Structure 1
């Protein structure tokens, strides 16, 4: 944690005591969460290093209430530790699949590294509330917005440093705005600036603003704007509608549109600020230039849910989003700060289906076994198929490729007894792409996850 952030947190803590501890203490919550993850990524036919590791993560969260008065103050604290359990050199993802790396080397022409034994971090957010408006400033921010989805798909969650304000002063409308300047990845213990995949330079200014308008109880409209200085500007439009069809039935429509363009040094093709367009084609190599739309429709009946949809990534370049995966430290080593999530239906277990030109048709079937007397048990299977992928990275567009992915998962949470709340998730995915698709690696991936959260009372 930076000294400035720590000093700010302490100052807010003192203010909280002076302002009256009733709400600050009485409304506070504390919990400890554990997650054990077995991760196996198997590239097919010798196309890359196999990753096979097991690790355990612990996360402590303290969320205070707000002090009394016109303006209430509070403080949230988060501490995390990761412990590597198994998976030595040759089985560890060099770029940090689930744990940070150390002891880099090359063996038989392949880059290798070892996982660190353990890693820790601590952070916190000072917060203030006035009426229906809340401000959070700190380095434990985890936004979940169309223009930025904080990743929590592996062992420890990613986090951001900066400030976010949320306001619900207008009935039915939630306004959100903020500025972020640093990030720490899901498999990293080091903070970096913000960037895009393929770039080696950073930005300290990611600014955003937007609104979610609940027009009726069944219809929500969204608009957001984001700017990563010297990299890209992005507009988002969204619509979510749920149509009740009778007892225990509904039809959901979810429409999303992104428009992204170059900003500053990326627009000027400055070295270090170039976007790799997700290893795919770009009309102007290294430049952000993309529009992407997607539509998803879900029919739910009892415990059944059937989802189908389509997504089109524009021809001029790949879909852009925050991703620090290409940044290295002063020794040229990857920080393990990548693995970002993004707000598209195709952000799947293995691939993102986000290269220029990709037309993706996808579907998913899920079932909640509570309907047949087994509460806590859920299962889902999904399939995605992408065509018309622009496969090269130069300015001459040729060769259209295809790819597909199949993902399956089973989740079970114990509902009663001593282990109530203990959850198990088993996920398996298979990804295949046409030979010659730049940067694409056929793979089978398995994840076994055990989760448990204890809330202090």
Structure 2
């Protein structure tokens, strides 16, 4: 049974009411003048064919997502208070019990999908100088927790996050997240350990995720990153990253190097977590062309550990697969092209090919390989009343020795309307 949860957590509601009362009494102009609101509409058709003749061999759905994002300014004074609100609505345009499960729409107990599902949440915020504390709903994009936003509605985490940029070039991020609302859900739930390809015990829950990290710009074009996270009684994780960007000849050379160490942290029912993930992406942009090479290697006794429903922070996590099984080694070749150089501004093309081998197949001593090929065209309207409306057409093929083969097509139309 699907139960709609349309209100924020009780502590958030109480804090928001207190802030609202405070700001109304202060009649603070900045709170209103610095506010903003936008409505993002995302229309997605998704068709995934598993290329098999038993069980559910196809998932195909079409839906419309609406995201109303409202942000206030801050009250004046040494300590500034603010309040943000987020309204999310997903609408079914086409679905069927035999084709459900794309994660565009929730799946009910009878296998059907609702005509619509929605969420409403608020985030209270406090700012002192260049330090901000936010408590409520978040769509984080961090190396240790990256919310998935590839469906109608984004995955939303609940809890508190603090960011501070008091020192030039240095940003600190820390906090605790204790609930998650998955992209095709309305329910606040505990966080689960992802168990793709039976890498870990299924259904293992955590009460919270603690995290802390630093981003530091050493020099122009060179940024270092370190993050630590602990998924309560399941695993802890250390992330080390280096981002560089420099002119090389008439083009630009970019690198993204990541090393993540994950270890289990006490829960007997979670099973062993022991992974060292090295991954890196090197790309060179020259005019309208961009060429990229990626490498990813899983070390340790298990595959990569991350929160279920979220996006793993790996360079070879692509449209369908993550290439993150125990001992797996994978390579990526990527090419991007911008058609502006031939008189079609707004049109871009991307294709990539990823091949993995030596993956340890869970539950056996066998090893396997897999590959994926992705193609994408995207067009963004450049001017006129529909300026910034975009259309994306994505196609992917995935083949594996141990997981289900799949062919997938997505058509995405999106537009963000500034309200004020």
- Matched with 1:331 is none
Partner secondary structure for residue 215 of structure 1? strand
**CA distances 1:160-212 after superposition (whole Å, capped 9, x unpaired):** 11000000001111110010000000111111011202432422220000100
What is the CA-CA distance between 1:11 and the residue it aligns to? Answer: 1.4
Give the C-alpha shift of residue 47 in structure 1.
5.2
Residue aligned with 1:12, SS = helix
Following superposition, the deviation at residue 83 of structure 1 comes to 0.8
Equivalent-residue separation in structure 2 for 1:47 and 1:298 (angstroms): 41
Q: Residue 431 of structure 1 is aligned with which of 394, 398, 412?
A: 398
Query: How many Å apart are 1:233 and its aligned residue?
Result: 0.5
CA–CA distance in 1 between the matches of 2:12 and 2:265?
29
CA deviation after TM superposition for structure 1 residue 239, in Å:
0.6
SS of corresponding position for 1:101: coil
- Aligned match of 1:40: 47
Matches within 5 A, 1:150-169: 150-169=147-166
Aligned partners of 2:67 and 2:88 also within 8 Å: yes
4+ residue segments displaced more than 3 Å? none
Quick one: which of 258, 261, 272 aligns to 1:259?
261
| Residues in 1 aligned to 2:180 and 2:302: alpha-carbon distance in whole angstroms | 25
Matched-pair contact (CA < 8 Å) for 2:294–2:316: no
**TM-align CA RMSD:** 1.3
How many angstroms does 1:4 deviate by?
2.2
* Aligned residues of 2:274 and 2:300 also touching (Cα < 8 A): no
Q: Which residue of 1 aligns with 2:126?
A: 128
Which stretch of structure 1 is more off in the superposition, 415-424 or 304-313? 415-424
Contact between 1:409 and 1:426, CA under 8 Å: does it hold in 2? yes
- 8 Å contact kept, 2:49–2:59: yes
Match of 1:279 in 2: none
Question: C-alpha displacement at 1:103, in angstroms?
Answer: 4.0
The equivalent of 1:399 in structure 2 is: 366
Contact 1:158 1:183 in 2 (8 A): yes
- Given that residues 148 and 322 in structure 1 are in contact (C-alpha distance below 8 angstroms), is that contact kept between their aligned partners in structure 2? yes
Give 2:106's match in structure 1, choosing from 87, 100, 103. 100
1:295 equivalent in structure 2: 280
Who is 1:313 aligned against? Answer: 298
Alignment partner of 1:44: what SS?
coil
Q: CA contact under 8 A between 2:241 and 2:257: conserved in structure 1?
A: yes
Equivalent residue pairs, number: 406
Q: Secondary structure at the match of 1:392?
A: coil
SS in 1 for 2:108: strand
Query: Take 2:419 and 2:89, find their aligned partners in 1: how far apart are those partners?
Result: 19
1:442 aligns with 2:400: no
Q: Is the 8 A contact 2:279 2:296 kept in 1?
A: yes
Partner of 1:218: 221
Query: Partners in 2 of 1:48 and 1:253 — Cα distance?
Result: 43
Q: CA separation in 2, counterparts of 1:176 and 1:19?
A: 30
SS in structure 1 at match of 2:219: coil
Contact 2:301 2:326 in 1 (8 A): yes
Shift of residue 130, structure 1, vs aligned partner:
0.6
Residue 295 of structure 1, CA deviation:
1.5
Q: Per-residue deviation at 1:441?
A: 0.5
8 Å Cα contact 1:225-1:234 kept in structure 2? yes
Give TM-score, length-normalised by structure 1: 0.87
Matched residues in 2 for 1:46 and 1:186: separation? 29
1:58 maps to which residue? Answer: 66
Query: Which among 357, 374, 389 is matched to residue 327 of structure 2?
Result: 357
Q: State the match for 2:4 in structure 1.
A: none
Q: 113, 132, 140: which is aligned to 1:115?
A: 113
Match of 2:205 in 1: 202
CA contact (8 A) 1:19 1:69 kept: no
Q: Residue 123 of structure 1: SS of its match in structure 2?
A: strand
Instruction: Say if 2:45 and 2:62, in contact at 8 Å, map to a contact too.
Output: yes
One of 376, 379, 391 as aligned partner of 2:346? 376
Q: Return the offset for 1:21.
A: 2.0
Structure 1 equivalent of residue 3 of structure 2: none
**SS where residue 317 of structure 1 aligns?**
coil
SS of the residue corresponding to residue 65 of structure 1 reads coil
- Unpaired runs of 5+ residues, structure 2, are 1-7, 196-201
SS at match of 1:13: helix
Shift of 1:375: 1.7
**Structure 1 residue 20: deviation in Å?**
4.2
Match of 1:79 among 70, 74, 87: 87
